[in-house]
Amino acid sequence: MQSTYPHGANVTANGIRQHYLHYGGTAGERATRDAIILIPGITSPAVTWAFVAETFGRHFDTYVLDVRGRGLSEASDELDYSLDAQAEDLKALTEALKLDRYAYVGHSMGARIAIRAARTQPRGLTRAVLIDPPVSGPGRRAYPSKLPWYTDSIALAKKGIDMEGMRAFCPTWTEEQLRLRAQWLHTCDERAVRASFEGFHTDDIHADLPKLRVPALLMTAERGDVVLDSDVAEMQTLAPELQHTRVPNAGHMIPWDNEAGFYAAFGDFLGAKLV
């Protein structure tokens, strides 16, 4: 099948260089639909979401963000890696791209960024999909993954790690997925990852949920321990219009575990079915 990937590019937005991958474009029916902004997780450069973006690009004008400190976006020892800075990046990116109507689709850390950005009702935002967001925060249970899982693998990646070396960290992934992670993980700045991980426990996204003013879909993993049934109930109390779906046979990295189920879980929430 022909690729839907026109190009990658960089823009200056919120005072930093932001890199993104662009899929789909606005030809045909895509011109009538809202654009999609995919926001990956804590150690997922944009390129690792390319397989998802290809599918989205067949239906929507799609952009995959390299969150600051990851992939080809700006990183430095002085850069602010807070959730607030990441949310401002996201809002500034849509302004730089001159998007009139768009939806956030954020995974894990990316879902938290989407929640924090959406609370200010940015111009043009029409929907938000929150995929297995960490629900840790002040006074709440800790995020189930541990920081060394990230930092140890990044340290090895910076020296050079192969597919088999990466398998120790991601034993259920395919060879293609492992190769891609081994190739790109070194672009994740350890300071950025540490700041985001600490933010999982200090930033209160639950306080942001009542401020959501657009239709939102919470997508969770059936096999995951990130978002429990009790968490879903609390989130829907805080945001009564929040829809919810669980993807069967999937852990936290939902499209890696059950790609077809991941696409099916969107239904027509975004304005067109992905399958």
Average pLDDT over residues 146-172: 96
* Band (105; pLDDT cuts 50, 70, 90): very high
Average pLDDT over residues 21-50: 97
Mean pLDDT over the full length of the chain: 97
Q: Residue 188, exposed/middle/buried by CB under 10 A (0-12, 13-18, 19+)?
A: buried
Nearest to 44 by CA among 172, 211, 233, 185: 185
Where do the H-state alpha helices sit in the chain? 50-57, 83-96, 109-118, 147-159, 163-167, 175-184, 190-202, 229-238, 254-257, 259-265
Q: Domain ranges in the chain?
A: 7-147+202-265
What pLDDT does 153 receive? 97
Average pLDDT over residues 72-93: 98
Q: Are 13 and 93 in contact (CB under 8 A)?
A: yes
Average pLDDT over residues 35-40: 98
What pLDDT does 1 receive? 74
What pLDDT does 244 receive? 98
Average pLDDT over residues 59-69: 98
What pLDDT does 103 receive? 98
Architecture label for domain 7-147+202-265: 3-Layer(aba) Sandwich (3.40)
What pLDDT does 224 receive? 84
Q: Is a pLDDT exceeding 80 seen at residue 14?
A: yes
pLDDT digits (tens, 9 = 90+) for 211-267: 999 999 999 999 989 999 999 999 999 999 999 999 999 999 999 999 999 999 999
Average pLDDT over residues 46-61: 97
What pLDDT does 72 receive? 98
What pLDDT does 155 receive? 97
For the chain, what is the total number of helices (H) and then of strands (E)?
10, 8
